[in-house]
C-alpha cells in the first residue's frame, strides 16, 4: 500500500507536467509538478527512486507526446490499418519510455547524491543533473519535451532568461522553484520554511525583473535592422494526396496561386513549407512548370520546399535524396540551399539499419532514404546569412545557436505537420518561439496545414494562421545582428553547474 501511494504521488506530478504544453496549456503547473518526485527522491533508496522517476516521466512524456499516435492511419501510404495502429502505438511507447529514462536517472541521482546534503547544495546538484541529462538527451535522435519548452509560448516574461544560457536556463529555473517548494514541505520549522519562502520570492522577482527589462528594451528595438517584406504560403495540402497525380496538380496550383498573390502585393521574399512541391530540384519536371513560370515572371525570390539530389558522396543507395529548402528567383541559379540535418527515424531514415533494416523496409513507404545535411552548413542569401530549420529541427536549440553565432540574421522554419493532430502544430510553434527568444531574432514559420506565423525577438506572435486552412500572409520582419549571451557563449550554465556540483560532492564525501 505504501509503494502504491508513492507511485500515485509520482504519477500525479507527471500528469501535472503533462498538462503544461498544448492542448492543455497549463504552463504554470511546471513550477509545482516536480515537487512529488523531489520529495520521494529524498526518502527512497536509489532503485525505488529510479522507478518513481520513470513513472513520473511516463505520465509527462506520454501526455505531451500523445500527438505522435495521430500519424495513424497510414493506409494512404499502403500500410494496413492494424499495422499502422501497431506502428503508431509502438513509436509512442518507445519515445515515452526514452524520455522517462531521463527523469528516472534524475530521481536516482538525487537519491544517491543529495540526501545528506544541505538544501543549497541539493538544489545546485539537482539543476546540474537535470540540465546535464537534457543536453545528453539532445545529442540523440529523439528530443522534444525538455522542461524549458513547457513555458512556451505562454510565459514570455520568464522565457526571456533563456537568452542567458539557452533552454537549460529555464529548465534549471523550474528545478530551483520546485526544489524550494518541496523543501518547504519537507522541513517542519517556521524558521527554515521562512528562509525558503524568501528565496523563492527573490528568485522569481529576479526573473520577472530581467524579463521585464528585456521585453521593454526590445519593444523599442525589435524593428532595428534591415526590413524585408516576407510572405508565407500555407498550402493546406493533405499528405494523402502526395501519392496521387491529381494531388501533385493541386499542390502546384496552390503554391503558384499563392506566389503570384504575394508577389503582386510587394513581397521581397516568399517562404513555402517543407516539401511544398515534392519533386526533385533543380531537375526539370513538367508537373512543376506552372510554378516555375510564375517565378520567372515576377522574379521574387522564394524558398521552395522540395527534395534534392544527395550531396553525400558516401550514400549507399542511389535513390537517396535530401529534404531541402531552395532559394530560387526564376533564373538558372540557386541563391541558397539548406538540407535538413535532424531526420525523423523511420519516416526519413532507418535507425539501427543492420538490425532493423529488413523489417522496416517492409513497413516503410520509403524507396530510398533521406540523407542528412551537414551539421555545419551555413545558408547565405542576397540579404546576408539566414538561420534555417526544417520541421523537427525546431526542438534543437544548438542547431539554431550555431547558425546565429555564425552571423544568421533571420530564422526561417519550414515544416509539414499535416499528418499530426493540431496541438502538435501548436507545440511546434512553441519550439520556434523559444528559438526566437534565445537568438534574439525574428522568425518566419511556414507550415503546410498550420500553424504558420511571424514571431518577434521577444517571442510575441505577430501573426498566426488558422489550422487546416489555405492562407497567404505578408509581414515586414527585420534582419538583426545582435548577440545574446547564449549566442556568444552557448550553454555555459550547465558545465558550470556540473563543475560546482562535483566540488560540492567531493567536499562532502571526503572532508565532512
Catalytic annotation present for 376: no
* Contact residues for 106 (Cβ-Cβ < 8 A; gap 6+): 37, 53, 126, 129, 130, 133
Angle at 180 (CA atoms; ends 118, 96), nearest 5 degrees? 105
Q: Determine the Cα–Cα distance for residues 431 and 164; give it in Å rounded to an integer.
A: 17
Per-position DSSP letters for 94-109, written without gaps between them: HHHHHHHHHHHHHHHH
3-class SS of residue 376: coil
Catalytic annotation present for 340: yes
C-alpha cell at 181: 517548494
Q: Determine the Cα–Cα distance for residues 407 and 223; give it in Å rounded to an integer.
A: 18
Sheet holding 384-390, edge to edge: 379-381, 384-390, 411-415, 443-447, 453-455, 461-464
Q: Which of 58, 59, 127, 391 is catalytic?
A: 391
Catalytic annotation present for 261: no
Strand partners, 229: 476
Q: Which of 340, 369, 393, 438 is catalytic?
A: 340
Element (H, E) at 413: strand 411-415
C-alpha cell at 428: 511546434
3-class SS of residue 446: strand
C-alpha cell at 452: 504558420
Q: Determine the Cα–Cα distance for residues 346 and 91; give it in Å rounded to an integer.
A: 10
Q: Which of 134, 214, 274, 369 is catalytic?
A: 274
Report the DSSP pairing between strands 411-415 and 384-390. Answer: parallel
| CA distances for 408 relative to 385, 389, 506, angstroms | 5, 12, 42
* Residues assigned a catalytic role: 274, 340, 391
Amino acid at each position: 500500500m505504501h509503494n502504491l501511494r508513492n507511485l500515485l504521488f509520482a504519477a500525479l506530478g507527471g500528469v501535472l507536467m503533462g498538462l503544461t504544453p498544448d492542448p492543455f496549456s497549463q504552463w504554470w503547473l511546471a513550477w509545482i509538478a516536480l515537487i512529488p518526485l523531489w520529495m520521494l527522491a529524498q526518502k527512497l533508496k536509489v532503485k525505488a527512486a529510479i522507478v518513481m522517476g520513470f513513472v513520473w516521466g511516463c505520465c509527462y512524456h506520454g501526455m505531451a507526446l500523445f500527438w505522435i499516435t495521430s500519424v495513424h492511419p497510414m493506409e494512404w501510404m499502403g500500410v494496413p490499418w492494424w499495422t499502422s495502429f501497431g506502428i503508431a502505438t509502438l513509436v509512442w511507447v518507445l519515445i515515452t519510455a526514452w524520455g522517462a529514462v531521463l527523469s528516472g536517472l534524475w530521481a536516482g541521482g538525487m537519491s544517491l547524491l543529495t540526501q545528506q546534503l544541505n538544501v543549497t547544495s541539493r538544489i545546485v546538484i539537482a539543476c546540474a543533473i537535470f540540465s546535464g541529462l537534457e543536453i545528453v538527451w539532445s545529442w540523440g535522435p529523439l528530443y522534444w519535451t525538455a522542461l524549458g519548452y513547457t513555458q512556451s509560448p505562454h510565459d514570455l516574461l520568464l522565457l526571456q532568461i533563456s537568452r542567458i544560457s539557452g533552454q537549460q536556463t529555464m529548465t534549471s529555473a523550474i528545478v530551483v522553484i520546485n526544489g524550494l517548494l518541496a523543501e518547504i514541505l519537507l522541513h517542519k520549522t517556521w524558521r527554515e520554511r521562512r528562509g525558503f519562502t524568501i528565496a523563492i520570492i527573490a528568485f522569481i522577482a529576479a526573473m520577472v525583473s530581467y524579463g521585464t527589462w528585456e521585453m521593454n528594451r526590445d519593444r523599442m528595438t525589435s524593428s532595428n535592422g534591415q526590413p524585408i517584406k516576407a510572405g508565407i504560403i500555407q498550402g493546406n495540402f493533405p499528405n494523402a494526396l502526395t501519392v496521387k497525380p491529381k494531388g501533385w496538380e493541386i499542390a502546384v496550383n496552390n503554391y503558384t496561386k499563392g506566389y503570384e498573390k504575394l508577389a503582386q502585393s510587394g513581397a521581397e521574399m516568399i517562404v513555402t513549407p517543407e516539401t511544398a512541391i515534392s519533386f526533385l530540384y533543380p531537375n526539370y519536371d513538367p508537373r512543376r512548370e506552372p510554378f516555375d513560370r510564375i517565378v520567372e515572371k515576377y522574379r521574387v525570390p522564394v524558398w521552395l520546399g522540395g527534395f534534392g539530389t544527395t550531396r553525400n558522396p558516401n550514400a549507399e543507395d542511389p535513390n537517396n535524396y535530401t529534404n531541402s529548402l531552395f532559394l530560387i528567383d526564376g533564373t538558372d541559379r540557386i541563391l541558397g540551399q539548406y538540407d535538413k540535418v535532424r531526420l525523423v527515424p523511420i519516416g526519413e531514415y532507418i535507425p539501427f539499419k543492420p538490425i532493423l533494416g529488413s523489417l522496416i523496409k517492409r513497413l516503410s513507404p520509403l524507396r530510398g532514404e533521406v540523407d542528412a545535411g551537414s551539421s555545419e552548413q551555413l545558408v547565405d542569401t542576397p540579404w546576408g546569412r539566414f538561420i534555417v530549420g526544417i520541421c523537427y529541427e525546431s526542438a534543437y536549440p544548438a542547431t539554431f545557436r550555431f547558425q546565429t553565432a555564425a552571423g544568421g540574421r533571420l530564422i526561417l522554419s519550414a515544416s509539414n505537420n499535416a499528418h499530426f493532430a493540431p496541438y502538435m502544430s501548436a507545440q511546434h510553434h512553441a519550439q520556434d518561439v523559444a528559438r526566437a527568444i534565445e537568438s534574439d531574432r525574428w522568425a518566419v514559420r511556414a507550415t503546410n496545414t498550420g500553424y504558420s506565423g511571424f514571431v518577434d525577438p521577444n517571442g510575441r506572435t505577430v501573426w498566426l494562421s488558422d489550422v487546416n486552412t489555405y492562407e497567404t500572409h505578408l509581414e515586414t520582419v527585420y534582419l538583426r545582428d545582435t548577440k545574446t549571451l547564449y549566442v556568444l557563449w552557448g550553454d555555459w550554465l550547465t558545465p558550470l553547474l556540473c563543475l560546482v556540483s562535483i566540488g560540492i560532492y567531493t567536499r562532502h564525501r571526503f572532508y565532512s
